[in-house]
Amino acid sequence: MRPAALLAYSDEQDIWRTYALAMWREGYRIGFAGVDEGRRVDSAERDASWHAIAAPIARGGLLHAELERRHWGPGGREHFGDPRPGDYPGREAAA
């Protein structure tokens, strides 16, 4: 390959690398902006769903203890994993 052709090829490669880097940076910028938008949408949805849950409870004047009972079930957090009526008893009991 002649030196002039080699230099022309090298220049072309430099242009393509510069272009590829610019496209990568633009894609990263767009993607990063998308993350921020996703977080904003998630926060808005979470706030809306929480208000949909909490508003009827607040209007009814439920106490914190009642909310905890509804959340964890009878017996509170300590007994959350205990068997409940209607649970599957296991193979031995079903046979």
In a domain, 95, yes or no: no
In a domain, 74, yes or no: yes
In a domain, 67, yes or no: yes
Q: What is the pLDDT of residue 23?
A: 93
In a domain, 92, yes or no: no
Q: Give pLDDT tens digits along the chain (95 positions).
A: 788 888 888 989 999 999 999 999 998 888 888 888 888 899 999 888 887 777 776 666 667 777 778 788 878 888 888 888 888 888 876 55
Q: What is the pLDDT of residue 95?
A: 59
Residues 6+ apart with CB under 8 A from 1: 9
What's the CA gap between 62 and 58, in Å, rounded? 6
In a domain, 86, yes or no: no
Q: What angle do CA 81, 84, 89 make, to 5 degrees?
A: 100
Q: What is the pLDDT of residue 68?
A: 79
Q: What is the pLDDT of residue 3?
A: 85
Q: What is the pTM of this model?
A: 0.37
Range of the domain at 66: 3-81
In a domain, 27, yes or no: yes
Number of domains in the chain: 1
Q: What is the pLDDT of residue 38?
A: 85
Residues 6+ apart with CB under 8 A from 73: 79, 80, 84
In a domain, 88, yes or no: no
